[in-house]
Structure 1
Amino acid sequence: MAEVLHMPGHAPGQIGLWHAGSGALFGADAIHDGPPIDDRPGTSVADYRQTFLRLRDMPVGQVYDGDDPAAGHERYHAILDHYLGLWQ
């Protein structure tokens, strides 16, 4: 069974789905293999950062978003770490 995660940043009500049994995160627009959309009305870099910090600690094996092919564990962490570094 998947768990619904509140993942604000891209949008205040952004959600994702986490399936612990398979290590799959369905992140929609909250995380994808491209720049996060953090400069439009309703976005919050502070919230995005908190979401990414929380996601960084999860044992994600694959992340699926709405725009790109699935990203594996290493690419997922590279995306998170890149933006966490920019948002310090």
Structure 2
Amino acid sequence: MASSAGGSVADELAAGGILWAPDFLVNAGGVIRGAVMDFHGGTMADTAVVAVSAPAHRYLPRPTPPGPTPRTRSPSQARRRIARTERRRAAS
């Protein structure tokens, strides 16, 4: 999950086993590519994106084949966790 949420929300997601990445990490490549492309062109923009993506690759775990990717696994996990949270709230 990528969002601008932080603090306790990020901690709650992690406790529930949901991989969370801050929006600045996920969106940095697009922002930098756009800015560099406007001023310096495509080759330098590509180089800048590669440079900024290195921290993201270190931060995010790699999926281990042959299991499902976070993209295919996340929606159903999120629905289950939301339902479980709603049941807990209704019971309290």
TM-score by length of 2: 0.29
Higher helix share: 2
Q: Which has the larger Rg?
A: 2
Determine which structure has the larger strand proportion and give its number: 1
**What is the TM-score of this pair, normalised by structure 1?**
0.30
